[in-house]
Chains A and B, each alone.
Chain A
């Protein structure tokens, strides 16, 4: 079966699932999973052979021939769409059931299938017009998925913000594709790196795709949308949908010439997103909002890799450019896997306790051992720790940047601070995920909700296990996945196809295997040893504290306090406190909230200013006909005067 056949089968299966979605959830799931497998097979084929598949239709859509193309870059993203999409579909079978959500379960299934289809279309379309149509449909599907639970006000607000931001980006993309078509004379897309006059268009693409990717400071829509969407939607949004923005940036920086400054800008934006994303995450108290800010961080890491690859292109340094790009692209997969896993885990917590507020959770490991262990695995992976996948991709990015430092060239100046900031990002992410795991899963339960928590069922656990297996596989055997990443790198820049795999990748994989085995063996050994000498349970000693209560535990806010204090200049936390004052204080309270600074301190004031100016203009429109007639006469007089002045 050819690649085209497999893609057609995937599209057919997804269409079938769309038809089956209202009445028969089982058929919907079966068809969705079949489509997923077919798409994955097609992507794997392209990545394994390194070839590209192209197809042009004889019929016209919107006056243009269909032009579909699946090469290394798009296949890499298609594989992620398939894996995360399949996992989310299976998860939603238990998470968003007809019984629990009679109003929206059908819509959830239908829009889910539509979203998969549209994302697939975005990835294979090689015609500007059709790309725009697919892009717009994809954005709309995501909107309807985010607002599934539209009865809640914050969900509607989040959906509205997403739609507005998304369209601001789409506007830039309209300009980008029309200007491109105007200058090349055709909507057809493909490699055209030799046409240097197209380079300035990259800025439009960077803005348009950047809004979707959610890098700092274009991330304003991301936290609320990801936090308020149902968890399986958050998983696909955070794991896959924002990667479409990355796809756009990677795709068009590969096909089109880029301005000389583009690499530096992308790198800077990446570094800023990485550090500030994790800083904002540390300030959050809402579990899903925190995860959403981590997406900003990881998009930053991906962009660091892509940015350095662009810098390397400008300087003709294939060796380290390919490493950095490979790291960035592998991080696309990795982040897709572990972020989906974490969001599904967060959904499982939300499902069991009904709250996302971390200060109301705690001690969940006892009721939810599977969720707790899988979430912990995702936390280790996202903190970039060996032996899991997050480390492998960050390591590749590091290798690229270290090589940029040791080879002479202008990139040294950028690579040195980038390395230091990437290391700091890693340490900050670790701090953040220690906080999340500790506050949510460890210690004593902080509220009654957590006491009735229960483990999720097999349909929710299975997808999490699959994603976790992916994280472990890439961590332990990175060399197996190198050819796929290499195919994408070669598709991005044909001349880089000769760059060999870093010879130490296999060693790293073996080291990871040994480390994992030793860690498990060491833990088992210590466990047995600890039981042999006598095992007793007692209350937490805590230096002899007699009557600890759950409220005395360290909270998420206090845990992150030191670091959020360092970043207070940008986080701008809002604090309300009543200090205990008299000898017998009556009441004491402390509350801290980290706002979305860019949105609330920059965008909203600007929007209010625009509204004020518009309100003045609106006074002209009051419904009094005689005044309108006066406007007409004045307008005519003005036109007449201008014409007279012109003619003289």
Chain B
């Protein structure tokens, strides 16, 4: 009974709290720019409205155009449920679940890019091409971070490897993972979530033709992914699992809020990088993770 209740709580956290993050980021951006900005709960209103709306589908699109966002949303949710939430723990933990998490995010990427190509539009093709290309570097950085944590904890399940902090290389890992977070969640300097109309977009351009409930699924999935990466980053860096439950929850929430504010500040203070710089930035993130790995490997021996 308790386990079902716990599962429901975790489920609710992922589903209900996720749309809060984009609202907070927008609030931070508005605050820096001296505006009032949209309400923090704006995304909730948007999602409810979109869910009730009808859809306009391209004449070229197959049923995969609707199935793509649905499967991508399920994949992100499944990945999120594998991730432990501090003292709330995880719904399911087994050896090698971390690899499954990385590949579930890849499945979501496959489905999103597939749906983008359904429309036969050059814009969306461009976005999908960029998404899948830059993901190669992002995935290398993520797996290096996973390798670091696994080496640090001597374990291959998320629940165990996220308990201790990342040790001496924590700062390197934090900066590396934060950069990947920005890239994977279409934030500045990789992408600009405010516009949909420019040739320089990555993720946002892939969803140009979505409308109504499928767009709601896309937006909610994106919010969950942002929360997932924030939670992963916080738990990878802080020894959340070693704190007493109340402090752990506090640390987790504070960490996620800090990440959110940081994303908002980066977005306010930085300009989007030129496209040829994007691979360089991601390579930097990858190298930071590699250095964290070297610290974990050789630092542990010394």
Contacts and interface: CB of A to CB of B under 8 A. Distances in A.
Is B one of A's binding partners? yes
B49 to A, nearest CB: 11
B66 A527 contact: yes
A527 B120 contact: no
A430 B63 contact: no
Contacts, number: 257
A386 interface: yes
A362, A376, A391, A402, most chain B CB atoms within 10 A? A402
A159 B144 CA distance: 43
A540 B74 CA distance: 26
A444 B60 CA distance: 6
A508 B66 CA distance: 27
B70, B144, B155, most chain A CB atoms within 10 A? B70
Interface of A: 362-363, 365-366, 369, 372, 376, 380, 383-386, 391, 395, 398-399, 402-403, 405-406, 412, 416, 419-420, 423-424, 426-428, 430-431, 433-435, 437-439, 441-444, 502-504, 507-508, 511, 514-515, 518-519, 522-523, 525-527, 529-530, 533-543, 545, 548, 550, 552-554, 558-563, 566
A406 to B, nearest CB: 5
Given A365-B62, A539-B59, A402 B150 contact: yes
A526 B58 contact: no
Contact of B140 (A423, A435, A511): A423
B128 A434 contact: yes
A511 B136 contact: no
Interface stretch (B7-15, B106-114, B246-254): B106-114
A505 to B, nearest CB: 9
A363 B154 contact: no
A416 B120 contact: no
B125 A402 contact: no
B298 to A, nearest CB: 11
B118 interface: yes
B70 A525 contact: yes
A529 B211 CA distance: 12
Nearest to A539: B59
Interface residues of B, number: 78
Contacts of B109: 430
A534 B54 CA distance: 4
A420 B136 contact: no
Contacts of A430: 106, 109-110, 132, 135
A34 B123 CA distance: 52
Interface in B100-154: 100, 102-104, 106-107, 109-110, 113-114, 117-126, 128-130, 132-136, 139-140, 142-144, 147, 150-151, 154
B59 A537 contact: yes
B20 interface: no
16 contacts: A395-B96, A403-B156, A405-B151, A416-B147, A420-B140, A435-B132, A438-B117, A511-B92, A523-B70, A537-B59, A540-B59, A540-B121, A552-B122, A553-B122, A554-B126, A558-B126
A316 to B, nearest CB: 20
A372 B64 CA distance: 11
B100 A508 contact: yes
A443 B74 CA distance: 25
